A and B are shown apart, each in its own frame.
Chain A
């Protein structure tokens, strides 16, 4: 394994201690075994995995004794998530529960879909505990300015607001139309559509709804801040004290610019998430850490590994670059070793999240040319 460049200099954040790391790993191993017991038991598992288990040369119920044993599964093929019948993914243990379906971006043909019963609520309740009350006051109202449609984001933010005692206002943006506008080169339409969203957001913010917290995307956040500045005000002056935001364009430079010039003191926390994983929180972003954005998956419900581009069963050394490999381990969904369309650098466990993280997340270089990213 190559020399670990990040170990050559002291970390600018609080590292996790060894005991915490070991405990987190034990918890992950135990959780993995429990999830196998659920998904591969005929009374609780979903038709897809029960069928698939017949073709496996091992028994997931007895041969998976820890997280690393999940490597026994062949690579997960994302094509399995495209198209129907969707019920093949619903665990029998949840057969009587209402089912939601959430879709990924839809930038590459038939979107990948994931069934949900309560996972999105659980994920956002857990995420809620990472939000500082000082900036996200309990009881405050929220503005959700971003894509809704077939994504889980709108319902999730709404649940987050309700869970924290507030009400969520929603302005929709359709990213699939935005992608078309970009592909067609209709930049004036793109600008007009963005402004259409921003105008609605400003109207809501000025309507006396006591909105203090917001979810939005980086592109919309900057557009909102610039529009407010033109009106002689700021995001903070509009009442916002806490923002959480997400997207691969969350670079250290963008974050620094936002903190220094757009937010006027409002607190912002970057997140990395998608329909499959849920929501990865970031460790505190500081100038001393070069505004590094490092995400940590919500273990043990989901695990991010940064793996070698050629040998996707091997994680890279800390500080080195690899592809994002995602494992989802909830009772509703089991996805082992899904290779994401992103890459980044492997980060050391930190005090708050004593397991591996990832920084510098960006589109996977071998796919980047064919994908329209950063659209909303």
Chain B
């Protein structure tokens, strides 16, 4: 299969192509056209048309078409690149180049379907009940009768997707429904979801000129960030630091998600073992929403041992095995390098490797490697490994007094706080280091899509601003609008 670039509806076959190979056999799975950043720069002139093409269709109709697209994505045989792709072949291809077990690829498909089929409800919640026409027209009247204006900050959202994380796509699925086009640099190992999703959307009636797919090297990412008024980029902590404070860029890096167990609940820690295990190991522990640390003031040794007992025996299985839970590291040498880093961390004072008794953690294949789950017990939050996050099930169970937790946890994308103590809850609610907060035993990996994730996408794409019209025009309320404070 060959995947060409899609220049807002026009397929473009490059003279330069990368070969995607099966992570186990090295067999060729597909070749992907590679374009340069200048093509993105040149196609910037098509961005305005991307949004216009969406605005020619009513918002309700777009949502219906996205729901159809969701069904096509999960069930249909679609024209992808120069071939036809069934759902099964999609799963096989995605697993083959990303190393993710096929069962987890299917689970991600269901997650994407869920978002697409609940788009109306999601948008209603994310816009707090704003009539969708307001986003189309730029202004309108709220249900309270007040004139509101939302101004699109970019006709397209630029997306620099991670090289190999099939789980992140739910973040950008609402964009088309908000009347904004997509300019995507697909991940090197995982072009599958963007291509299949684009094919499903186009087949469902979303205008092809609303979506651009530009596979290529880092200069494509740079051109996207330079050319789009709003972009999302996925990367390392260094990438996060680089774009911090740039209002045009929403940057997604490591999550450092955590479970915090309050003193009032910690004696019952066994009750929450399932929540902890799921938070650590769901989706092969690859996501930023997987827990990388568990904080408690006592019983931490027992908690680490119990988690180790559950996760330690998990072993590498063939990707087709429905019970396979571990994704491979498909880049040669990476698994080994990570393991060496962890081994270094385990030598620090106050650190105990709780999964040591369950056999070697590093499994090396001919062309790839795996890391079996690692559970570490830390006597304090000080050791480096307590602050680490890796793309496999790896957790530090950290002993830390409750009164120090807020100060010690550091940036936390998802915090699951298991406590009924109102004072501690209040501190957690006010803690700005925490993005998503689960009050109660909810796995960190369980996302309620009716609430914003890492910032509200609506607020990112649209600016709420004032727009006033004379009283007699239809957009204004019959109720006299206040004139106070407008001078």
Query: What residues of chain A have their CB less than 8 Å away from a CB belonging to chain B?
Result: 185, 187, 191, 222-223, 225-226, 229, 251-254, 256-257, 261-262, 290-291, 374
B42 within 8 A of A: yes
B38 within 8 A of A: yes
Q: How close is B122's CB to chain A, nearest CB, in angstroms?
A: 33
**For residue A229, which residues in chain B have a CB less than 8 angstroms away from its CB?**
42, 45
B225 engages A187 (CB within 8 Å)? yes
**A191 to B39 CA separation, bound complex (whole angstroms):** 16
Some 8 contacts from A to B, beta carbons below 8 A apart, are: A187-B242, A191-B226, A226-B41, A229-B42, A253-B16, A253-B34, A253-B35, A256-B15
Q: How close is B235's CB to chain A, nearest CB, in angstroms?
A: 11
Q: How close is B212's CB to chain A, nearest CB, in angstroms?
A: 15
Query: B224-245: contact bitstring with A at CB < 8 Å (1 yes, 0 no)?
Result: 0110000000000010001000
**A268 to B353 CA separation, bound complex (whole angstroms):** 62
Beta-carbon contacts under 8 Å, B1-53 to A: 14-16, 34-39, 41-42, 44-45
A-B pair count, CB < 8 Å, reads 43
Closest residue to B216 on the A side, CB-wise? A253
Q: How close is B7's CB to chain A, nearest CB, in angstroms?
A: 10
Q: How close is A285's CB to chain B, nearest CB, in angstroms?
A: 12
B222 within 8 A of A: yes
Q: How close is A217's CB to chain B, nearest CB, in angstroms?
A: 12
Q: How close is A248's CB to chain B, nearest CB, in angstroms?
A: 13
Q: Quick one: which of B14, B38, B219, B222 contacts A262, CB cutoff 8 A?
A: B38
A254 engages B36 (CB within 8 Å)? yes
Q: Quick one: which of A191, A225, A257, A291 contacts B36, CB cutoff 8 A?
A: A257
Closest residue to A221 on the B side, CB-wise? B38
Q: How close is A236's CB to chain B, nearest CB, in angstroms?
A: 15
Q: How close is A250's CB to chain B, nearest CB, in angstroms?
A: 11
**A291 to B219 CA separation, bound complex (whole angstroms):** 21
Indicate whether A222 sits within 8 Å of B38 (C-beta atoms), given known contacts A185-B238, A187-B242, A229-B45: yes
Q: How close is B87's CB to chain A, nearest CB, in angstroms?
A: 33
A251 engages B16 (CB within 8 Å)? yes
Query: B203-223: contact bitstring with A at CB < 8 Å (1 yes, 0 no)?
Result: 000000000000000010010
Closest residue to A290 on the B side, CB-wise? B15
Q: How close is B308's CB to chain A, nearest CB, in angstroms?
A: 37
A261 engages B35 (CB within 8 Å)? no
Among A222, A229, A252, A262, the one with the most B-chain Cβ atoms within 10 Å of its Cβ is A222
**For residue B14, which residues in chain A have a CB less than 8 angstroms away from its CB?**
253
B42 engages A252 (CB within 8 Å)? no
Closest residue to B43 on the A side, CB-wise? A261
Indicate whether A252 sits within 8 Å of B15 (C-beta atoms), given known contacts A187-B222, A226-B41, A257-B36: yes
Closest residue to A261 on the B side, CB-wise? B42
**A257 to B13 CA separation, bound complex (whole angstroms):** 11
Beta-carbon contacts under 8 Å, B235-260 to A: 238, 242
Closest residue to B219 on the A side, CB-wise? A374
**For residue B35, which residues in chain A have a CB less than 8 angstroms away from its CB?**
253, 257
A257 engages B242 (CB within 8 Å)? no
Q: How close is B3's CB to chain A, nearest CB, in angstroms?
A: 15
Closest residue to A190 on the B side, CB-wise? B222
A222 engages B41 (CB within 8 Å)? yes
Q: How close is A190's CB to chain B, nearest CB, in angstroms?
A: 8
Q: How close is B48's CB to chain A, nearest CB, in angstroms?
A: 13
**For residue B15, which residues in chain A have a CB less than 8 angstroms away from its CB?**
251-253, 256, 290-291
**For residue A185, which residues in chain B have a CB less than 8 angstroms away from its CB?**
238, 242
**A257 to B14 CA separation, bound complex (whole angstroms):** 9
The 7 closest A-B pairs by CB, nearest first: A222-B38, A253-B15, A253-B16, A185-B242, A226-B41, A252-B15, A253-B14
Given contacts A226-B44, A257-B39, A291-B15, 15 further A-B contacts (CB under 8 A): A187-B225, A187-B226, A191-B226, A223-B41, A226-B38, A226-B41, A253-B15, A253-B35, A253-B36, A254-B36, A254-B38, A257-B35, A257-B38, A261-B42, A262-B42
Beta-carbon contacts under 8 Å, B303-354 to A: none
**A34 to B45 CA separation, bound complex (whole angstroms):** 58
Closest residue to A195 on the B side, CB-wise? B226
**For residue B242, which residues in chain A have a CB less than 8 angstroms away from its CB?**
185, 187
Closest residue to B227 on the A side, CB-wise? A226
**A322 to B219 CA separation, bound complex (whole angstroms):** 26
Beta-carbon contacts under 8 Å, B339-389 to A: none
Closest residue to B12 on the A side, CB-wise? A257
Q: Quick one: which of A191, A226, A252, A261 contacts B16, CB cutoff 8 A?
A: A252
Closest residue to B41 on the A side, CB-wise? A226
Closest residue to A186 on the B side, CB-wise? B242
